[in-house]
Amino acid sequence: MALPVFYDKLYKRIFLASKDAIGIISSEGFYLEQNAAHRKLIGYTDNELHQKTPAIHFGKRAFNKIVKELQKNNQYRGIHEIRAKDGTKIPIDLSAFAVKDERGKILCYVGIKRDISNQKKTEEALQKSRDELEVILQGIADGITVQNETGKLVYANNAAGIAAGFPTGEDMVKTPPDKIMEKFELMDESGNPFPLERLPGRKAMLGETNPEALIRYRNKQTNEEKWVIIKARAMFDDFGKPLMSINILHDVTERKKVEKRKDEFISIASHELKTPITSIKAYVQILQKQLEKQGNSESSRFLLKIDRQIEKLTDLIADLLDVSKIQAGKLTFQKTRFSLDGLLKEVVEDMQRISESHKIVIKSLKACTVAGDKERIEQVLINLLTNAMKYSPKSNEVHVNVAKVDSMVKVSVTDFGIGIGKEDLRRVFERFFRISGSNGETFPGLGVGLYICAEIIKRHQGRIWVESARTKGSTFHFTLPRIHSV
Ligand code: ADP
């Protein structure tokens, strides 16, 4: 096919107008021609470049290497740094090819130089910010790991690696996930096996927002035990497909050790206090009888007061003992069947006898039988009623309701007292949690009563919760499974 006559002109225009720098070199290796972009890039005029070799900006060795490659393969591609006329160094992406005649004789070489300074700068800036981020991640005391959508570990900082028993984070990443998991036994707070599907990273990938978990883990080789709080966040693409999950591992082993020592202290202290209190109580009672016989009624009245205080002390110690039993998983129950409404009436009567400040009104009462530890359920009722009176010093009534709800019985104790702010509604059931009044009101207490109630109800397959607002009074509810009469 014959080429149109204007082709030569067309090629020339493309060559001249190209934004990439193009140089044409003779088969002997000297510049023949350059376009405007080339002139601009390296700064030589056409006259200056004439009869010069590209070695002036590539360097002799690099240029020889390029020419050799072109002679062998007809083409060449590579990244180079060239020197412009004014001495500045410019990174370029070079593609070159050899032009041959029909017999394979090289006529000339064409070199296309693309300036990649901007691209390089961007890459360098990106690398710099990556390096900075890496310094931050490595400097953080918390472990940080990143998993891709298949669960494969793609990043771990050194803190994470060391916590998992590796010398560095990189060593951890190189190890397959099942090999990492094999090294450990995962447990929840009570020492039961921790199912892998409850790991926050997995939950986050399934769309749960900000999942977290407290995990106890034992290194099977060293037998060392540690505690960690894991928080996870997942990242999704535009279509909601999970891309990766980022896990933050916060070591709380030291805190848990201190808590354990505190629990042990409470357990020992309450046991040690129990014995002298029991004998003081016995001696007070003997003394009281002797004084009564002698007709010394005034001293006998004082002893009665001492006895009441000892009762209070005994209750406090019993509460502390219960707390340590719960912590050690040793709170046991003597289960029987009993009438909850009967028990409630007894408790209300007893408490009404000693309370001068409040009237306890049973608003509704459904007869119902439950199975459980009667003394422990009584303890819950006493606790809720005592709190209702204690935290409503300016009112004089407490209401009680007992209702049947499906297969459960629901007991509700309502007071018209100081109430509980929204932020504390769940927390009142935590161990040692007490609300400090903003208006300076203080109430005596250890902050364990509701914690014990919650444990007792939970262990009876019931539920306990509170509805309240600050200054608006509170209603504590608990449910227990009902025994259906046949
Ligand atoms: P405490 O011995 O301090 O009463 P509890 O465990 O029984 O311990 O209660 C924990 C905290 O919950 C209390 O310190 C109090 O701040 C709050 N609370 C409990 N019951 C009530 C109530 N009926 N009204 C208002 N606040 C209450």
Residue 147 has pLDDT above 90, yes or no: yes
Distance 338 CA to ligand 1 centre (A): 28
b/e 330-364 (16+ beta carbons within 10 angstroms → b): ebeeeeeebebbebbeebbeebeeebeebebeeee
Lowest-confidence region among 91-95, 420-424, 435-439: 435-439
Ligand 1 contact via 249 beta carbon (within 6 Å): no
Radius of gyration of the chain (CA): 41
∠379-339-389 over CA atoms, to 5°? 35
Distance CA 197, CA 174 (A): 23
Q: Which ligand 1 atom sits nearest the alpha carbon of residue 413?
A: 23
**Test site for ligand 1: of 432, 434, 448, most ligand atoms within 8 A of the Cβ:** 434
**Contact of 143 with 160, CB cutoff 8 Å:** yes
Q: Where are the domains of the chain?
A: 5-115, 121-251, 257-328, 335-483
d(CA 69, CA 58): 15
Atom of ligand 1 nearest to the CA of 418: 25
Q: Each residue of 354-396: pLDDT tens digit?
A: 899 999 999 999 999 999 999 999 999 999 999 999 999 999 9
Q: Of all helices (H) and strands (E), which one includes residue 184?
A: strand 184-187
Tokens of 438: 């903003």
Number of Cβ within a 10 Å radius of residue 292? 13
Distance 255 CA to ligand 1 centre (A): 25
Q: Domain 5-115, what fold?
A: Beta-Lactamase (3.30.450)
Q: Where are the alpha helices (DSSP H) in 116-182?
A: 117-139, 158-163, 169-174, 177-182
Give the pLDDT confidence of 57-73 residue by residue, as tens digits: 999 999 999 999 999 99
Q: Which atom of ligand 1 is nearest to the CA of 419?
A: 25
CA 316 / ligand 1 centre spacing (Å): 15
206 touches 221 (CB < 8 A): no
What's the token pair of residue 372? 């459980």
Tell me the best of 382, 383, 413, 420 to mutate to test the pocket of ligand 1, counting ligand atoms within 8 Å of each CB and taking the most: 420
Nearest to 224 by CA among 178, 261, 183: 183
pLDDT tens-digit profile of 224-277? 999 999 999 999 999 989 999 999 999 999 999 998 898 899 999 999 999 999
Q: Is the CB of 448 under 6 A from ligand 1?
A: yes
In CATH, the number for domain 335-483 is 3.30.565.10
pLDDT of residue 440: 56
Assign 442 a pLDDT band (cuts: 50, 70, 90). Answer: confident
Nearest-atom number in ligand 1 for the CA of 447 is 8
Label the pairing between strands 106-115 and 21-26: antiparallel
CA distances from 310 to 242, 278, 280 (A): 62, 9, 8
Measured CA angle at 35 (ends 111, 72), to 5 deg = 15
Residue 37: how many other CB atoms lie within 10 Å: 20
Q: What is the pLDDT of residue 1?
A: 43
Environment class of 11 (CB within 10 Å of its CB; exposed 0-12, middle 13-18, buried 19+): exposed
CATH number given to 257-328: 1.10.287.130
According to the model, what pLDDT value does residue 7 have?
A: 72
Q: State how beta strands 153-156 and 408-415 pair.
A: unpaired
Q: Taking Cα atoms as reference points, which of 382, 299, 235, 263 lies closest to residue 307? A: 299
| 28 class by beta-carbon count within 10 Å (0-12 exposed, 13-18 middle, 19+ buried) | exposed
* Fold equal for 121-251 and 257-328: no
Phi then psi for residue 404, to 5 deg, are -95, 130
Can you tell me the distance from the alpha carbon of 453 to that of 326, in angstroms, rounded to the nearest whole number? 11
**Strand 359-364 with 397-405, pairing:** parallel
The answer, as to whether pTM is greater than 0.85, is no
Report residue 5's pLDDT band, with 50, 70 and 90 as the boundaries: low
Q: What is the CATH number of domain 121-251?
A: 3.30.450.20
**pLDDT: which is higher, 361 or 436:** 361
- The per-residue pLDDT of the chain, averaged, comes to 92
CA of 323 to the centre of ligand 1 (A): 16
Q: Tell me what the mean pLDDT of segment 174-178 comes to.
A: 87
Atom of ligand 1 nearest to the CA of 445: 2
